[in-house]
Amino acid sequence: MAVVSEQFDKIYNKVLNGIKTKTIDTSDLVIIATSAMQIVQKYPELTGEDKKRMVIDILSRLVDESNLVPSKYQDTSRVFIQHTLPNMIDAVVNAYQHKIKLKKVVQKCGC
């Protein structure tokens, strides 16, 4: 468990150091999540579920502990992390693995 904790702290700090603004709002979490996903991808010893959980936990920690998210955005950020982020991660991974064809999705929605 200590190894995972060390990896988490290392990845969290990489994500935190990659943020170049003084504050972030809920919409910034999408970009930060994709950055975190790229970083955790470099750890082949972690399972896909471990990586997903780590990205979610990293964003949760950012919201709760970093002082980057103003209090007026914290509740909506937490809702995004709990309810939207897991599905977003799955969609990005499925698109990357060519399990979904984005052109077909766009055609079905009428866009």
The yes-or-no verdict on residue 1 having pLDDT over 60 is no
Cβ pair 19, 32 in contact under 8 A: yes
Centre a 10 Å sphere on the Cβ of residue 78 and count the other Cβ atoms it contains. Answer: 16
Domain map of the chain by residue range? 2-109
Close Cβ partners of 26 (under 8 Å, ≥ 6 residues apart): 73, 76, 77, 80
The pTM assigned to this predicted structure is 0.84
Q: What is the mean pLDDT of the chain?
A: 88
| DSSP structural state of residue 81 | I
Grade residue 42 by pLDDT with cuts at 50, 70 and 90.
Answer: very high
Tokens matching residue 87: 């599905």
Q: For the residues 79-102, what does the mean pLDDT come to?
A: 89
- Residue 13 has a pLDDT of 94
